[in-house]
């Protein structure tokens, strides 16, 4: 427990928020700072073939100590934190023996037990929270801490038999670029798990199909005193575009397998407004319909205000990994059995998002997603119960043990 907590509290102090604006990999220098230190730490604990490449990807190997050959397991987490809230000057707090009531942070920020009833499941446990001014960074520094703690345990206990284990930490997952420069051949695992899920027990083998739209709206600025029939307000057109989207198809109104449109960045003045939108659906056909809708909206606005008023780049980002996981379901079943054997009830769910694993699965590395234990990712109300982190470490170790029965 001490090691995984110590590591996590150290990692969250690094400002590794990614950026969509820099067009570099990694997108922010803080990720390289953390990456360099993680590479050194992996070497110090005894991992082999540690590499940290020019794009900020870390890979390392724990060689097999068995005489028979078993499949090589990969363990993956990402270093960056989300754009939605600041990741600078993170000041984590430990709530000792949580009493089941509201958790009051700084400046009147409250993690409400009524609004987040799952919080009461952790009554009596120690919980790590933010101080109410930043996100926490459990997404995904908890995963990094859990992976390193697990492999360190194996290194320090050589009597525990295991096959070859590969570890990778990636940059820029939060902006959808975590797998862009991932060298699957170099990683050389038979399958992998991203330690990037939420509450204890989660395991996920299906995710959204995803696209994003970068929309530039061009206006015409004229003094308001003489603006009639001349001024074109790009901000107003952006508002009109958003109003034409289906009102109920937003993340705040959807759950389960329901898809959505989500505008998560808008910047503008009269002459130009930039809008960034993500489009999600578990059903690929429904995603295609959603993309057609936004294309029709853009066409309508250009017909109304003039061709070239709205310019959109619409691109696919990743696809549902389910169809590629199903042929190797034993890796999901093994993870679920590992959870059961350490006293956890597995909760198989569809990810209402995506992970590096979704894209890696599509290029030949089957990679379902396992819990880290965190809640309320990407915001000031983020928290993670310490026992959940410990259980994540135990699950990794149990998967390694169960894999010893899978002869190659």
* Sheet strands (E) in 107-228: 110-111, 127-129, 165-170, 191-197, 202-207, 209-218
Structure tokens at 26: 């990694």
Catalytic one among 173, 281, 356, 394?
A: 173
In degrees, to the nearest 5, what angle opens at C-alpha 22 toward C-alphas 21 and 24?
Answer: 135
Calpha distance 89→213 (Å, rounded): 31
Sheet holding 209-218, edge to edge: 260-268, 272-281, 209-218, 310-318
Contact 377, 198 (CB under 8 A): yes
204 in catalytic set: no
Quick check: is 240 catalytic? no
- Strand pairing of 209-218 and 310-318? antiparallel
Q: Of residues 80, 172, 177, 206, which has the active-site annotation?
A: 80
Q: Is 308 exposed, middle or buried (0-12, 13-18, 19+ CB in 10 A)?
A: exposed
Q: Which phi and psi angles does 136 have, rounded to 5°?
A: -95, -45
Q: Over 318-367, what HEC string results? A: ECCCHHHHHHHCHHHHHHHHHHHHCCCCCEEEEECCCCHHHHHHHCCCCC
Question: How far, CA to CA in Å, does 164 sit from each of 63, 329, 347, 407?
Answer: 5, 20, 27, 12
Tokens (6 digits) for 65: 């100590």
Helix (H) or strand (E) holding 274: strand 272-281
| Residue showing tokens 């570890």 | 167
CA-closest candidate to residue 83, choices 170, 20, 13, 133: 20
Which residue from 87, 75, 71, 68 is spatially nearest to 19, judged by alpha carbons? 87
- DSSP three-state, residue 78: strand
CA distances from 17 to 35, 88, 252 (A): 13, 8, 23
Residues labelled catalytic: 80, 173
């Amino acid at each position: 427990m001490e090691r995984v907590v110590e590591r996590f509290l150290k990692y969250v102090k690094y400002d590794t928020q990614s950026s969509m604006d820099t067009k570099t990999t990694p997108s922010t220098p803080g990720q390289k700072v953390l990456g360099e230190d993680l590479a050194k730490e992996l070497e110090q604990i005894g991992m082999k073939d540690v590499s940290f490449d020019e794009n900020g990807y870390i890979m390392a190997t724990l060689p097999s100590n068995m005489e028979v050959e078993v499949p090589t397991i990969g363990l993956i987490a990402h270093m960056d934190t989300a754009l939605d809230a600041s990741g600078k000057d993170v000041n984590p707090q430990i709530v000792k023996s949580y009493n089941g009531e509201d958790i009051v942070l700084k400046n009147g920020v409250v993690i409400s037990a009524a609004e987040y009833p799952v919080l009461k499941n952790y009554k009596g446990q120690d919980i790590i929270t933010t101080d109410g001014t930043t996100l926490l960074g459990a997404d995904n520094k908890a995963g990094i801490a859990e992976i390193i703690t697990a492999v360190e345990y194996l290194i320090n206990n050589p009597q525990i038999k295991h096959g070859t284990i590969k570890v990778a930490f990636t940059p820029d997952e939060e902006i959808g670029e975590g797998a862009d420069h991932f060298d699957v051949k170099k990683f050389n695992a038979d399958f992998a798990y991203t330690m990037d899920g939420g509450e204890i027990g989660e395991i996920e083998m299906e995710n959204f199909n995803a696209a994003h739209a970068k929309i530039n709206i061009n206006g015409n600025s004229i003094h308001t005193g003489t603006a009639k029939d001349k001024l074109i307000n790009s901000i107003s057109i952006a508002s009109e575009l958003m109003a034409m989207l289906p009102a109920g198809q937003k993340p705040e109104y959807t759950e389960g397998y329901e898809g959505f449109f989500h505008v998560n960045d808008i910047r503008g003045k009269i002459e130009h407004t930039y809008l960034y939108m993500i489009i999600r659906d578990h059903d690929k056909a429904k995603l295609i319909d959603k993309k057609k809708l936004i294309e029709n909206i853009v066409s309508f606005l250009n017909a109304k205000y003039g061709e070239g008023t709205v310019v959109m780049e619409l691109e696919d980002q990743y696809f549902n990994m389910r169809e590629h996981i199903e042929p190797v379901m034993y890796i999901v079943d093994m993870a679920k059995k590992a959870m059961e054997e350490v006293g956890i009830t597995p909760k198989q769910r569809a990810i209402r998002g995506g992970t590096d694993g979704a894209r890696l699965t599509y290029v030949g590395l089957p990679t379902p997603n396992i819990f880290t234990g965190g809640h309320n990712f990407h915001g000031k109300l983020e928290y993670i119960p310490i026992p959940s982190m410990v259980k994540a470490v135990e699950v990794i170790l149990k998967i390694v043990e169960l894999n010893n029965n899978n002869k190659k």
